[in-house]
Structure 1
């Protein structure tokens, strides 16, 4: 069973969106939050989990977290930026376009 969560390091600025499958870490997104902006730098899914839609699960958790915390996303990660560009209306509420 897959589950996702957002985890921050002690400084509460840098963190990860983490994805677990059967209690094993299967992927993550590296993020930072400051001044109402969430920057996403990198998305990574372990090779054994590729092709199962796990990057999309991470993205969905990122979007939910941003909405719940009134954050705007700066997509520095190539995967996230590609998804935002492919579906701009879906991500319009959270995408801070002027920063990308």
Structure 2
């Protein structure tokens, strides 16, 4: 199974991403503040769609937010939809 990695710059902006065969298969663009993890956009390479890569990145982002005691501001349509569909699962981290 593909491994989700996190890259951040010195301004605490970056992405959770997945690489397969040396190329990026998916990316979830984020920004961090002291208390909030903002998700801006999630995208999966069209050739890799249907394999659950967006869900893997979502799970990694949620685990990171919980581990670092951050609230998640889901500006990304995919993440916001998942939070709305499963409000109980994300209630502890969802910054509404």
TM-score (norm 2): 0.93
| Alignment-derived partner of residue 14 in structure 1 | 13
SS in 1 for 2:81: helix
- Distance in 1, Cα, partners of 2:93 & 2:82: 13
TM-score (norm 1): 0.90
| Alignment-derived partner of residue 42 in structure 2 | 43
Shift of 1:20: 2.0
| Alignment-derived partner of residue 2 in structure 2 | 2
Q: How many residue pairs were aligned?
A: 96
- Distance in 1, Cα, partners of 2:70 & 2:17: 18
- Distance in 2, Cα, partners of 1:33 & 1:57: 19
- Distance in 1, Cα, partners of 2:82 & 2:58: 9
Shift of 1:93: 1.2
For structure 2, which runs of at least 5 residues remain unmatched after alignment? none
SS in 2 for 1:2: coil
Deviations 1:18-65 (A, max 9, x none): 112244321011100013101000000001100111100010010011
Moved over 3 A (4+): none
